Structure 1
Amino acid sequence: MNDFALVLVGIAIFVGIVGIVIPILPGAILSWAAIGVWAFEEQSATGWTVLAIATAFIGASQVVKYIVPERKLRDAGVPRRSTLIGVLLGIVGFFVIPVVGMFIGFPLGVYLSERHRLGNHDTAWESTKHALRVTGLSILIEFTGTALAAATWLIAVLFL
């Protein structure tokens, strides 16, 4: 693979990682696909090994990012319904107010659902803050798996 193509793969991996933190792009999938393109271009044992390791890191993070937060929300007493309403309002917000609407819609949806369910501001706000922390944890889990995959690729490119 020539240097220009290698730089493009690196940029795609980086954009994917940014897409995890600022969820506009399918971050982990973009990073994994870039590593896959590199591996297919390399056609070597190193390339296939890196792709397998990246798949394991990203795949594990995709599973864990749903299991751990779901359990934490359940333990805190925040029902799935509130999270679902938050996600739906986040999606609507994304289209109504491009880019930042999701960050407004999700907490607003969770808050409104919890306010309706619980009947007062203080407990609804506590549930909303808990849902936001858990969402941050989910992002951190996906970020970590993708960053480990990217680091594996970078080590292979630089040293192998």
Structure 2
Amino acid sequence: MSALGEVLVGLAIAVGLVGIIVQILPGNALVLGSVLVWAWVTGGTTAWVCFAVAALLIVVAETGQWLLAGRHMRRAEVPWSTLAVGGLAAVVGFFVVPVIGLFLFFTAAVLVMEYLRRRDGRAAWRATVAALQATAITIGIQLLGGLAATLTWVAGLFLT
């Protein structure tokens, strides 16, 4: 792959990593897709092994985030429907108040949904905090997986 191609792959990976944090873009899918393009164009055993390792790291991260965040939400007794409404509100909020609206609208929607469900302000707030913690767990684990895949790609750049 040419130097320009490698820079473009690196930029696509960076966009994917930002997507993990902002939670609007499919971050790890972009990271893995970028590594796949690099492996395809570069070719050879080393490139494909790097892709396989990156794919494994991302699969482990994605599985781990679902398991850990899900367990956290079950312990707090927050249903997935509340998170779904919060996620939809976050998308709307992202466009209403760029970037910051994502977090504000998610928090507000979860708080309102849990208040309507529980009819107790303190319990609703505890559930909202649990949802925010689960979101942080998700972002953290996804980011670790994406960064590990990125480091695998960087190692592949040096080895090929």
Compute the TM-score of the two structures, normalised by the length of structure 1: 0.92
Letter of the structure 1 residue corresponding to residue 155 of structure 2: I
How far apart, CA to CA, are the structure 1 residues paired with 2:87 and 2:12? Answer: 27
The answer to which structure, 1 or 2, has the higher relative contact order (CA under 8 A, 6+ apart) is 2
How far apart, CA to CA, are the structure 2 residues paired with 1:58 and 1:117? Answer: 35
Instruction: Give the secondary structure class of the aligned counterpart of 1:25.
Output: coil
Ranges of 4+ aligned residues in structure 1 off by more than 4 Å: none
Letter of the structure 2 residue corresponding to residue 64 of structure 1: G
Cα shift readout 1:89-130 (whole Å, capped 9, x = no counterpart): 222323333333221121111100111122222221111011
Residue 80, structure 1, aligned to residue 83, structure 2: no
2:118–2:124 contact (8 Å) kept in structure 1: yes
How far apart, CA to CA, are the structure 2 residues paired with 1:84 and 1:21? Answer: 18
Following superposition, the deviation at residue 15 of structure 1 comes to 1.6
How far apart, CA to CA, are the structure 2 residues paired with 1:150 and 1:105? Answer: 31
Aligned match of 1:148: 148
Letter of the structure 1 residue corresponding to residue 134 of structure 2: V
Unpaired segments ≥5 residues, structure 1: none
How far apart, CA to CA, are the structure 1 residues paired with 2:77 and 2:83? Answer: 11
1:111–1:125 contact (8 Å) kept in structure 2: yes
How far apart, CA to CA, are the structure 2 residues paired with 1:68 and 1:28? Answer: 17
Show the 5 A alignment for 1:2-81: 2-81=2-81
Identity of aligned residues (%): 36
Give the length in aligned residue pairs.
Answer: 160
Aligned match of 2:124: 124
Deviates most, 80-89 or 39-48: 80-89
Pairwise CA RMSD of aligned residues?
Answer: 1.5
1:93–1:105 contact (8 Å) kept in structure 2: yes
Unpaired segments ≥5 residues, structure 2: none
Letter of the structure 2 residue corresponding to residue 123 of structure 1: A
Letter of the structure 2 residue corresponding to residue 18 of structure 1: V
Following superposition, the deviation at residue 87 of structure 1 comes to 1.6
Deviates most, 118-127 or 50-59: 118-127
